[in-house]
């Protein structure tokens, strides 16, 4: 036990608490007034209460930060889906005013660049928490982006899951109870939309179901696919 009061606030508080009651009990023998010894104890108790409040506030701040990050992550995910729908509308109508109305920058117009490469070797891996991570290969002119499509009925109908400029995407919005989902990546630039080979993903716990790859590349199509 140190004889001198430490400089560190936490250590100093513990040092005072270890002595305050003894000082009250032995005030006369120590040359202290009982009032001064009691004041030392009272102030130590106030400091301890404020320390607990500070610790609680710090814990609440950490919790609030986690909630904020989760909230903006969810907002960004759904915003990406909305942007993909807006792009699909602009492309389908050929109306650049759709971008202006949405406060988005327009992509290159029709015929201003060659088509992008077909997305190939679409593969998946199931993360420990159940998200499906997709990856593929491909390329194209500057401004090429990818529309990730998802189907719950074996590829008969498709819905836009999100867009990305990289060749990787994580589906973290899976409905519960599904056994099989199909994914497809569409390379897009200007008027050009090039489908890659769709990839069925069977959800389960067996090692064989934790990763996979689409088959031989070919142009694919079907009802409900974005153009």
Per-residue pLDDT of 76-94, as tens digits, reads 888 888 888 888 888 777 7
Last residue of a domain, one of 62, 78, 107: 62
Torsions phi, psi for 159 (to 5 deg): -130, 145
Listed residues 38, 62, 86: the one ending a domain = 62
Residue 136 domain flag: yes
Distance separating alpha carbons of residues 160 and 142, to the nearest angstrom? 22
Residue 142 lies in a domain: yes
In a domain, 17, yes or no: yes
225 occurs within a structural domain: no
> What range defines the domain where residue 145 resides?
120-213
Q: What is the pLDDT of residue 212?
A: 61
Which of 203, 218, 217, 207 is closest to 171 using CA atoms?
Answer: 203
Q: How many CB atoms neighbour CB 113 within 10 A?
A: 18
Domain contains 86: no
The chain-wide mean pLDDT, for the chain, equals: 83
Return the pLDDT at 171: 92
206 with 137, same domain: the answer is: yes
| pLDDT confidence band for 1 (50 / 70 / 90) | low
Number of domains making up the chain: 2
Write out the H or E segment, with its range, that includes residue 132: strand 132-137
The strand pairing partners of 195, in sequence order, are 186
Q: Which of 62, 82, 106 is the last residue of a domain?
A: 62
Which of 8-22, 36-50, 80-94, 114-128 has the weakest average pLDDT?
80-94
Asked if residue 137 belongs to a domain, the reply is yes
């Amino acid at each position: 036990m140190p004889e001198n009061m430490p400089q560190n606030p936490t250590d100093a508080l513990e040092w005072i608490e270890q002595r305050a009651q003894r000082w009250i009990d032995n005030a006369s023998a120590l040359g202290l007034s009982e009032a001064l010894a009691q004041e030392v104890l009272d102030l130590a108790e106030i400091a301890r209460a404020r320390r607990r409040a500070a610790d609680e506030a710090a814990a609440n701040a950490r919790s609030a930060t986690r909630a904020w990050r989760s909230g903006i992550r969810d907002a960004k995910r759904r915003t990406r889906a909305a942007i993909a729908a807006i792009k699909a509308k602009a492309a389908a109508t050929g109306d650049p005013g759709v971008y202006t109305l949405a406060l988005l920058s327009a992509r290159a117009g029709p015929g201003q660049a060659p088509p992008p490469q077909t997305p190939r070797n679409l593969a998946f891996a199931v993360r420990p928490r159940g998200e499906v991570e997709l990856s593929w290969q491909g390329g194209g002119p500057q401004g090429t982006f990818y529309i990730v499509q998802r189907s719950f009925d074996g590829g008969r109908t498709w819905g836009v899951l999100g867009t990305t400029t990289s060749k990787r995407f994580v589906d973290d919005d899976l409905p519960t109870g599904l056994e099989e989902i199909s994914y497809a990546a569409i390379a897009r630039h200007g008027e050009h939309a090039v489908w890659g080979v769709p990839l069925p993903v069977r959800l389960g716990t067996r090692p064989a179901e934790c990763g996979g790859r689409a088959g031989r590349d070919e142009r694919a199509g079907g009802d409900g696919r974005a153009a």
